[in-house]
């Protein structure tokens, strides 16, 4: 999750351009696509530990093509380091997709025609102004075969939502998951 003003702008972009029938989440950065639901407690403990550090700065650098969609690219060495540390810890559990993921971005449009994606990319690029923000929390989500269900939110140290950061705010019932989405929403 990014600080509120940036989060709100990216949420608005996603609502405006992501196909409504597929848009079940606010704007977010996916750090991992699939983690084992049977390991929920261990996953949550590692995310909580990762969030005990100060909120990492994030640069919102510009739009980029996804082919059939558009993303807003982010740069954050600290957030990338958190992701890399978690990936090392969870290496036996990672899918091929999660083993190779390296970039940080927010998908604001997906599953549209290449022409529609190119038009939005041109529109966003023409008026884009880079900005600096920070990630305020990490979130853990559970996939329920269509909709996503929030499990917990882990505020970074010094951010609202937990004394000293790293404290989870429960958002849903525990249990098996088909896929757990861990991300810093943005």
Q: What is the tens place of the pLDDT at every residue in 128-145?
A: 999 999 999 999 999 888
Q: What is the pLDDT of residues 28-37, one digit of tens each?
A: 999 999 999 9
Q: CA-based angle 114:119:120, to the nearest 5?
A: 100
Whole-number average pLDDT of the chain: 88
Q: What is the pLDDT of residues 3-48, one digit of tens each?
A: 999 999 999 999 999 998 888 899 999 999 999 999 999 999 999 9
At residue 161, the pLDDT reads 66
At residue 183, the pLDDT reads 40
Query: How buried is 102 (Cβ within 10 angstroms: 0-12 exposed, 13-18 middle, 19+ buried)?
Result: exposed
pLDDT band at residue 186 under the 50/70/90 scheme:
very low
**What average pLDDT score do residues 102-119 get?**
96
At residue 145, the pLDDT reads 80
Supply 50's token pair.
Answer: 């990762």
At residue 28, the pLDDT reads 95
**What average pLDDT score do residues 112-139 get?**
97
> Domains of the chain (ranges plus CATH)?
4-184 (3.90.1140.10)
Give percent of the chain above pLDDT 70: 86
Q: How far is CA 113 from CA 69, 90, 106, 122, in A?
A: 8, 35, 19, 14
Q: What is the pTM of this model?
A: 0.85
At residue 56, the pLDDT reads 97
């Amino acid at each position: 999750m990014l600080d509120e003003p940036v989060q709100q702008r990216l949420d608005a972009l996603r609502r405006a351009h992501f196909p409504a029938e597929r848009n079940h989440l606010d704007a977010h950065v996916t750090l991992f696509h699939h983690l084992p639901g049977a390991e929920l407690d261990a996953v949550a403990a590692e995310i909580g530990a990762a969030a005990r550090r100060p909120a990492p700065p994030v640069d919102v650098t510009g739009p980029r093509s996804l082919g059939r969609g558009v993303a807003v690219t982010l740069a954050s060495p600290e957030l990338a380091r958190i992701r890399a540390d978690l990936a090392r810890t969870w290496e036996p559990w990672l899918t091929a997709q999660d083993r190779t993921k390296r970039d940080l971005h927010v998908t604001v449009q997906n599953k549209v025609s290449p022409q529609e994606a190119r038009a939005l990319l041109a529109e966003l690029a023409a008026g884009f102004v880079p900005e600096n923000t920070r990630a305020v929390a990490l979130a853990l989500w559970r996939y329920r075969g269509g909709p996503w269900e929030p499990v917990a939110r882990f505020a970074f140290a010094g951010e609202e939502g937990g004394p000293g950061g790293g404290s989870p705010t429960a958002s849903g019932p525990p249990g098996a998951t088909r896929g757990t989405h861990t991300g810093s929403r943005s």
